[in-house]
Each structure stands twice: as structure tokens, then as C-alpha cells.
């Protein structure tokens, strides 16, 4: 079992819709959770972090964490074509602040 | 500096040659990480520095790979006797405590 799992996609949503990206992790002691956006040919960019159960909102982005279910998600409201990218879930698995990344979900926002 | 700086941005080398990749982290960031990303693949952890020491080097794929960090700042990743399977984008990141990483723009290594 992979430590951090994501559906590779592509996830296709129409412009203006809500995109829902999901991630599960295996290590129950994980404490910190991050979402990165990676455009093709570019390096990952941090967009959200979440540390406690519940929702965290930042503009059009909402991160949701459920530690009991070992599940973290990212919602993107009013999706725009510029949101088309690969979204990487990352989890702190205990060694200092080392992050383990999922393989990413490719999001396509269609006109 | 304002961001994480990596050099060179692109490197083409012949199989069997040694290469050095450089990373200059954000000023004041004590933690520095090296990852690599092969085409269409996820990020593979290589090594983590806290200050000048490397408490976790578990991701280095073979003894051909080594890294050092000096002055708590610049880090160099060295790959000796490069092989074609070493071709990838090598990403450096730095962080302050547990607030997530900031990545550099990467070095694209091509071994021919």
C-alpha cells in the first residue's frame, strides 16, 4: 500500500463548477497535510496547508481533513481554466518535516 | 534570496560523467530537501538536511549519489558515473519548521 494515494485522473470539470480532489494516507501519526499545484513543466507550488480536523478555507480553495478516516481533500470552487494542473497531496510522515507526496491528480477545467 | 535558486536549470551529460547540482535555499530556512521527479511520475524523496547535517538520506538511490550542505545554506547534490536512469528533474526545497516547502525551479538532467 502506498503511503499517500491519489486518483491520477484526469478529473474533468466545466468552468464554474466545483472540483473535488481526494487523498488518503496510511500513517496514522501524520500531523501536517499540504496541497501543491504543479503546472506542466513547472515546480510544485504550495496552495493549502491543514493541521487539524475540519475545513480550512482560503479564497476559492477549501481543504478538508478527517484524521479518523485518514482522508484529506481539496475543493476548488468556481473552477477556472487556469486551475488546470496536477494537484499533489503531501503528508508529514514523522521524520522531522519530511513530506511524502502522492503521485498527483490531473485536473482539467473545460470551457 | 527571495526564493529557492537552483543551478543549472538544464544539464545534458554523457553517461559515466559526474554532475553537480546546486541549491541556494531561502535565507533563514534551516531545512533543505532534495527530491527528483521522473517524467510523469511523483516526487521521490532523496535527502533532508537540517542545518549542515543530514538526518535522513534514506532516499539516495545508490552510493553514486551524495549531497552536502555548508554554512547552513547552499547545498550540492553530486551524481557520479551518471546512468540513463538518472535522467529526471531534480528539485530542491527549503522550509522553516512545519510550514510546508518552497520549491526551486529544478534542474532538468538528461543523461545521453
Q: Considering only alpha carbons, which residue of chain B is nearest residue A103?
A: B42
Per-residue pLDDT of chain A (111 residues), as tens digits, is 668 999 988 999 999 999 999 999 998 888 899 999 999 999 999 999 999 999 999 999 999 999 999 999 999 999 999 999 999 999 987 656 688 999 999 999 999
Strands A33-38 and A54-58: unpaired
Angle at A30 between CA B40 and CA A86, to 5 degrees: 25
Bridge partner list, B83 = none
B positions 32-51 inside 8 Å of A (CB):
33, 35, 41-43, 45, 48, 50
pLDDT for A30 equals: 84
- Decide if B102 touches A, using CB distance below 8 A: yes
- Decide if B106 touches A, using CB distance below 8 A: yes
Q: Considering only alpha carbons, which residue of chain B is nearest residue A32?
A: B98
Quote the distance between the C-alpha of residue B33 and its chain's center.
7
What percentage of chain A's residues is helix, strand, coil (to nearest 5)? 5, 55, 45
pLDDT for B2 equals: 79
CA distance B75 to chain A (A): 17
Per-residue pLDDT of chain B (112 residues), as tens digits, is 579 999 999 999 999 999 999 999 999 899 999 999 998 788 999 999 999 999 889 999 999 999 999 998 999 999 999 999 999 999 999 998 767 889 999 999 999 9
Helix (H) or strand (E) holding A49, with range, is strand A45-50
- Decide if A100 touches B, using CB distance below 8 A: yes
Give the number of other Cβ atoms within 10 Å of residue B110's Cβ: 13
Q: Provide the greatest CA pair distance for chain A.
A: 43
- Decide if A37 touches B, using CB distance below 8 A: no
Q: Do B91 and A104 touch (CB under 8 A)?
A: no
- Decide if A86 touches B, using CB distance below 8 A: no
Amino acid at each position: 500500500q502506498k503511503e499517500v494515494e491519489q486518483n491520477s485522473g484526469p478529473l474533468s470539470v466545466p468552468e464554474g463548477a466545483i472540483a473535488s480532489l481526494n487523498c488518503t494516507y496510511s500513517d496514522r501519526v501524520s500531523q501536517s497535510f499540504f496541497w501543491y499545484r504543479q503546472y506542466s513543466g513547472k515546480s510544485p507550488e504550495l496552495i493549502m496547508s491543514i493541521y487539524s480536523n475540519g475545513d480550512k478555507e482560503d479564497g476559492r480553495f477549501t481543504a478538508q481533513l478527517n484524521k479518523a478516516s485518514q482522508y484529506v481533500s481539496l475543493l476548488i470552487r468556481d473552477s477556472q481554466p487556469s486551475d488546470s494542473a496536477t494537484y499533489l497531496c503531501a503528508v508529514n510522515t514523522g521524520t522531522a518535516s519530511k513530506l511524502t507526496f502522492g503521485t498527483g491528480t490531473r485536473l482539467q477545467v473545460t470551457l | 534570496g527571495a526564493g529557492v535558486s537552483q543551478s543549472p536549470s538544464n544539464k545534458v551529460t554523457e553517461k559515466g560523467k559526474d554532475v553537480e547540482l546546486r541549491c541556494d535555499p531561502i535565507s533563514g530556512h534551516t531545512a533543505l530537501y532534495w527530491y527528483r521527479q521522473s517524467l510523469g511520475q511523483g516526487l521521490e524523496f532523496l535527502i533532508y538536511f537540517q542545518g549542515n547535517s543530514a538526518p535522513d538520506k534514506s532516499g539516495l538511490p545508490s552510493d553514486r549519489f551524495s549531497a552536502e550542505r555548508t554554512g547552513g545554506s547552499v547545498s550540492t547534490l553530486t551524481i557520479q558515473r551518471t546512468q540513463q536512469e538518472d535522467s529526471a528533474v531534480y528539485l530542491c526545497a527549503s522550509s522553516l519548521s512545519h510550514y510546508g516547502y518552497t520549491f526551486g525551479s529544478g534542474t532538468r538532467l538528461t543523461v545521453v
